[in-house]
Structure 1
C-alpha cells in the first residue's frame, strides 16, 4: 500500500493525502521491488562496480566528425585517456539504447556504492546516480516515471489535478537516510515534478530505496515528504 505527501511550492501549500493503507515507515517491511529502476545491464558480464569504474577525461574527439557520439568513439577516447578496463566495461554497460554514458565518481555510503553517471551528449540532465548493493545490483534513481502504479497514488493524483502535464524531471537528489529493522537502511531521493523542463517545480516525488542488513536491495516505494 502507498501514500505520499507532495510539496507544492508553486501553490504555496503541502498536500498530505489519504493512504491506501499505510505507507511503510522506516523499520517496517519494504515494498515489492520495482524492476524498472534496476539496470537491465546488471547481469551483463561479471564486472562488479567499484572505484575502478571511474573515469573523468576528455571527450572532445567525440564531439565532431563522422565518429562523433558513437560507442566506438567513447571507448577509444576512454582508452586513450587512461581509463581502466573496468571503466570501459562499465561505460559499455551504461551505453544502451543509443545513449552514451560513463561513471565519473564513486563513493561508499554505509556499505552501499553510489556512482555518479555522466551522459556527455544529452541536451539536458547530463548527470545521474546509480546505487549499487552488496550483490552488485545497480539501481537507477532517475528511472522514476509516472506509470500506472504511481498515478494511482492519491498524492500524485491530487498534484495532477492542478498540473495534469506534470512529470518527474531527473536528476533525483539525495534526501537523507533512515534505519530499517534488522540493520537495514533506506536511502531517500527526491525528483521534482514539472510541466516542462524549463518550468518551475510544482511538487516533489520522494522514493525510498530499501536495503537489508546485508545491503541487498529489497524494494522501493513512495515516502511522504516532511516539510
Structure 2
C-alpha cells in the first residue's frame, strides 16, 4: 500500500454518521469534522434550533447534514426513531453531563441525572444503533465519549467518574460481543476542553492553573484535538482498533 492509498482510509465518503449531544460544543465540532471527512452526518439533540443551526453551518460548506430531534434519556422513543431511519455506519455516543460536588452533597437527583445520561442512556443508545448495524450487516464503528476521568479519580467527581469507568467497561464488553459482526467499539477520553460551556469555569485563573499543572503538554484541550481522535476511530484507518480507549488528555493519566 502506498502513502497515497493510506490517505483514502481516512475518508468517510458514502457513509452515514450519527452524533448525539450535537447541538453545541464538542458534539457540534465532531459533527463538523465527520462531515468534512465526507460523511452524511446526522446531528441529534433535544433542542431543534441548536441542531438546525449546526446542520445549516455544515450545509453552507457544501457538505451533508441532517437533524434528529431526540432525547437519548427517553430510551424507547430514541429506539423507535433509530428504527425508522437508515442504519448508521458511525455512531458517536456523545451526550453527557456532570454535576461536580463533594459526595457529601450529592443528591439522588444528581446521581440519577448523571448516571442516567452518561451510562443508562449511552448503553441503550448503543444498543439501538448497533442492532440496526447488525441487521444491515454493516461493519460499523461505535465511539463512546468517555473522559480521562474514566481512568483516574478526582475530588468532586465521584459520580461522574463512576459513570465513565462503567462506560469504559461496557465498551470493552460490547467490543468483544460485536467483534464477530465486524463492528468496532472504542472510547475517546478527553481532558478539560475549551468550549463555550466550560469557559466560565476555566476562566478562573486558580482553577485553570491547577488543571494545566496536571496536563503534561501544558495546555488545555481544544475541540479539534478530540475531533481528530474521533475521525481516526470512525474510518478504515482504525480497522483493527476495537475495545480500547484513545485518551486525548495531554498526558494527564501518564503518571
Larger RCO: Structure 1 or Structure 2 (Cα < 8 Å, ≥ 6 residues apart)? 1
Q: TM-score, normalised by structure 2?
A: 0.25
Q: Which of the two has greater strand per residue?
A: 1
The structure with the largest alpha-carbon Rg is: 1
Q: Which of the two has greater helix per residue?
A: 2
